[in-house]
Amino acid sequence: MLATYGYKDGSGEYLITIDTERCNGCGDCVAACPAHVFVVVDEDPNDPMREEPVAMVALEKKKKLKYECNPCKPTVDRAPLPCVEACKASAISHSW
Ligand code: SF4
Ligand code: SF4
């Protein structure tokens, strides 16, 4: 399942998508994100049948991604985002 967090406003799109089929709950994204955007939870509220841990965007961060992710905003060199790069399962995508 694709779980999308964030929003769009007049200044752009601030969306993070986690492919929960790919996510194995390893927690590497939690360690990699300087803004502590991710958490790993034991039960997926979107999929009660799931028995493995899964990454989510922390509730208190959902409405603030524009600001939380600002330090990682791509510049001319388009460096990979730490969260996307850290996820070996390729479960994370960002609208940037
Ligand atoms: S790094 Fe990827 S696989 Fe690991 S918990 Fe985060 S989203 Fe899931
Ligand atoms: S873009 Fe940066 S701040 Fe935003 S979730 Fe990814 S690692 Fe964290």
69 lines ligand 2 (CB under 6 A): yes
40 lines ligand 1 (CB under 6 A): yes
Query: Measured between alpha carbons, how far is residue 62 from residues 39, 76, 79, 83 in Å?
Result: 12, 26, 23, 15
Map out the domains of the chain with their CATH numbers.
2-94 (3.30.70.20)
pLDDT digit string, tens, across residues 34-66: 999 999 999 998 888 899 999 999 999 999 999
Q: Whose CA is nearest to atom 6 of ligand 1?
A: 29
**In which band, very low, low, confident or very high, does the pLDDT at 22 lie, cut at 50, 70 and 90?**
very high
Task: Give the three-class secondary structure for 11.
Answer: coil
The Cα–Cα gap between 84 and 80 comes to 7
Residue 47: the pLDDT is 87
